[in-house]
Amino acid sequence: MRSYLILGMLKGKFFFGIVAFFLDSFGLYAQIDTNIKDEQYRPLIHFSPKEKWVNDPNGMVYHNGIYHLFYQYHPNSSVWGPMHWGHATSKDLVHWKREPIKIFPDSLGTIFSGSAVVDKNNTSGFGKKGVVPIVAIFTQHNEAGEKAGKNDYQNQSLAYSLDNGKSWTKYSDNPVLKSPGIRDFRDPKVFWDEPTKKWIMSLAVVDRIYFYSSYNLRNWTKESDFGETAGAHGGVWECPDLFPLDYNGKEIWVLIVNLNPGGPNKGSATQYFLGDFDGKNFSPYSIETKWLDYGPDDYAGITWSNTGKRKIFLGWMSNWMYANFVPTETWRNAMTIPRELKIVKTGNDMLVASTLIKEIAKLKSKPVVSKNVVLSKPIDIAKTSSIKFPCLINLSTDSIKDFSVTLSNDDSEKLVIGYDRASNQYFIDRTRSGKTNFHKEFAAKHTAPRFVNISKLNLSLLIDVSSLELLADDGLTVMTVIFFPNKPYNQIQVGSTERAVIKKLEYIKLKSIWR
């Protein structure tokens, strides 16, 4: 059953690849390129490609003052197809510069997901004349091998850059880690383990994570595997990440495992485990599933490498169920906002909480603040004429009651976000949010549990023109959703079915990162 699901997923992508190929051949994409209507959905505070298809973030690394973001990119169409590594750079994680494509397919295959590291000690030997190399480790997916029915078509390869990521040279002896004959064998994420003085690679292998070690990034030895009987297994495991977070001086290891399908609100989602790592084995404190984001639209997320103790996470803001069909044609899909991860204790459990990166402060205008707002009827969050997107809404209350925040337009299209006391859940309802009929699973009400049992509640909503990121209870519950209203939303109202009092309500307009 599982292998059927996995094959189904990949086949789905290849089907789109074939459709794209035919459209490309007839030059149809060139025509669509001039169509500017898609710009109404273009994110203003999130990274999106100028044109064509994007999926997973890849090779995220900080080096010499620059945050690099590579990503799965199909330059010839706006549906998934032969993968390249696109590239963007940022000095502050907020403003992005779109760079040329950096890693191209070759005879070994197309360029699937992977990571990048700064090889400070030049263990790889790629550094020349004292220049520290950035080394990318990625999966090469050999379509010919797959079509021929082989099992070893996903192998790991290297490329390096000696000019701060501007140009890349593939290693002449690729691949460095060959598939042992397992079809789903991909998405290497590598870090330097100081105690063992080795590189550690986490690799997604069907339904578990393999851990490998290496002294030089070129030769890899398998150390252990984890996960066959842990966590959620509704689909294939993809895009892992392993890193320590500090909790009151103690090192807690986080293992991120992306899963597709099988997420809490269907389709793609990101689960994680907390535990110990001794340089060889990952030992979880619990094998129960924990989700980093309960919304449907945060997938393939991993963290930046070389940022010290600060761990910054970024995901792809879509879901494989409908990513190929969302109603933009010239460009398709975007990334979430970068989030900082930290460990929080709740009762006897520990969770990873997400916070919006502090650099977002750069985009903020003066907050419009209301205090002790009584919600006997729905009220406008600010004067209707002044509602603008993107924006950030912060809300807090001392006595928890049902409430909702509704974004709407003059056509009665609406996105409803809220908290339901009876089920103790947050929710985002996009059933009447605008264009939804491009896929049967899109129009849905998504829910997420609340993890704390206290009467104080806080909620932040980061709203862009076609996405919303909810962070509740200091980031313990997170939900990301995308939406496509026919006309832009121009009203935000807060309401309650009970007599709720919002202690503080803040509306903060955000500046676009592209102007």
- Binding region for ligand FRU (CB under 6 A): 55-56, 72, 83, 112-113, 139, 186-187, 238-239, 300
Element (H, E) at 28: helix 28-33
The token duo for 464 is 């862009």
Quote the least distance from Cβ 134 to ligand FRU, whole Å. 20
Quote the least distance from Cβ 21 to ligand FRU, whole Å. 16
Which one of 38, 56, 293, 380 is the catalytic residue?
Answer: 56
Is 333 or 466 the residue whose CB approaches ligand FRU more closely? Answer: 333
In angstroms, rounded to a whole number, what is the distance separating the alpha carbons of residues 171 and 173?
6
Quote the least distance from Cβ 76 to ligand FRU, whole Å. 14
Residue with tokens 């729905």: 378
Is 56 one of the annotated active-site residues of the chain? Answer: yes
In angstroms, rounded to a whole number, what is the distance separating the alpha carbons of residues 472 and 404?
13
3-class SS of residue 24? helix
Element (H, E) at 486: none
* Other Cβ atoms within 10 Å of 97 Cβ, number: 10
Across 347-433, the runs of DSSP E, i.e. the strands, are 349-356, 368-375, 379-380, 391-397, 403-408, 414-420, 425-429
The residue length of the chain stands at: 515
Is 104 or 247 the residue whose CB approaches ligand FRU more closely? Answer: 104
Is 336 or 496 the residue whose CB approaches ligand FRU more closely? Answer: 336
Quote the least distance from Cβ 114 to ligand FRU, whole Å. 8
Q: Where are the alpha helices (DSSP H) in 166-217?
A: none
Is 56 or 119 the residue whose CB approaches ligand FRU more closely? Answer: 56
In angstroms, rounded to a whole number, what is the distance separating the alpha carbons of residues 178 and 109?
13
Quote the least distance from Cβ 268 to ligand FRU, whole Å. 7
Contact 47, 88 (CB under 8 A): yes
Quote the least distance from Cβ 467 to ligand FRU, whole Å. 18
Compute φ and ψ for 202, nearest 5 degrees. Answer: -100, 135
Compute φ and ψ for 245, nearest 5 degrees. Answer: -125, 145
In angstroms, rounded to a whole number, what is the distance separating the alpha carbons of residues 447 and 435?
20
Q: What is the sign, positive or negative, of the torsion defined by CA atoms of 363, 365, 366, 370?
A: negative
Compute φ and ψ for 362, nearest 5 degrees. Answer: -60, -25
Quote the least distance from Cβ 72 to ligand FRU, whole Å. 4
Is 72 or 436 the residue whose CB approaches ligand FRU more closely? Answer: 72
Quote the least distance from Cβ 85 to ligand FRU, whole Å. 11
Radius of gyration of the chain (CA): 22
Is 139 or 174 the residue whose CB approaches ligand FRU more closely? Answer: 139
3-class SS of residue 504? strand
Asked if residue 261 has a cis previous peptide bond (ω within 30° of 0), the answer is: yes
Is 323 or 395 the residue whose CB approaches ligand FRU more closely? Answer: 323
Nearest to 261 by CA among 10, 514, 476: 10
Is 298 or 340 the residue whose CB approaches ligand FRU more closely? Answer: 298
Contact 63, 307 (CB under 8 A): no
Which residues are designated catalytic?
56
